[in-house]
Amino acid sequence: MRPNKRDELVRKALEIFYRDGFNATGMDRLVVETGVSKTSMYKHFRTKEDLILAALRLRDENFRNWLFRECENRADTPEAQMLAMFDALAAWFAQDGFRGCMFIKASAEFQDKAHPINVQAAEHKRLLLNWLTGLAQQAGFAAPESLAMQLLLLKEGAIVAAAMLGIDGPAQEAKQAARVLLDHAPGSR
């Protein structure tokens, strides 16, 4: 396969893994749904886990690029961008095919903290935490790491509530809680 075919395989596998889960998706299903032979798949990915890792890297890049751009487009200041994150999440939750966080799912399916898939999933969350910490620092909060963790917990909780309960409002409820956190956090704004 040409490199662009490899990229297409990863993109299609990402969609299938997101829709059906990692362990529930066998190589035979991937062959049928992607239209790529097993031989071709194994030429580029020694194992299904290697393909999962490639799909997670793509999802990480796509999601973070989308989220950061959405927040920047929705708000001009770092503090406002932290709140805008919840508006972006509400838009994501409303999309057809929303099935929660692929990284939470990966961590649940590969629970060994040393497993490369769990490590990759945790790295995604660390990168989001670093981004929120940077915004909190730019906004002048006195304890940016703590505030960023609190916001990340609200974000993750909203995702789980939206996916598991199928309710419309968790992003806005989390945004209200975030506003309270920001209003009471020490530091200049």
Distance CA 84, CA 70 (A): 8
Mean pLDDT for back-to-back runs of 10 residues, the chain (189 residues): 77 96 94 90 92 98 98 97 98 94 97 98 98 97 97 98 90 97 84
Distance CA 109, CA 24 (A): 10
pTM for the whole structure: 0.93
SS3 22: coil
Q: Does domain 55-184 have CATH number 1.10.357.10?
A: yes
The two three-digit tokens of residue 182, written as one number: 């920001």
Element (H, E) at 41: helix 38-44
Q: What is residue 5's predicted lDDT score, i.e. its pLDDT?
A: 82
Which residues 6+ apart lie within 8 Å of 111 measured at CB?
118
Q: What is residue 1's predicted lDDT score, i.e. its pLDDT?
A: 45
DSSP alpha helices (H): ranges in the chain? 3-20, 27-34, 38-44, 48-74, 78-93, 102-109, 116-138, 144-165, 170-184
Spans of all domains in the chain: 55-184
Q: What is residue 16's predicted lDDT score, i.e. its pLDDT?
A: 96
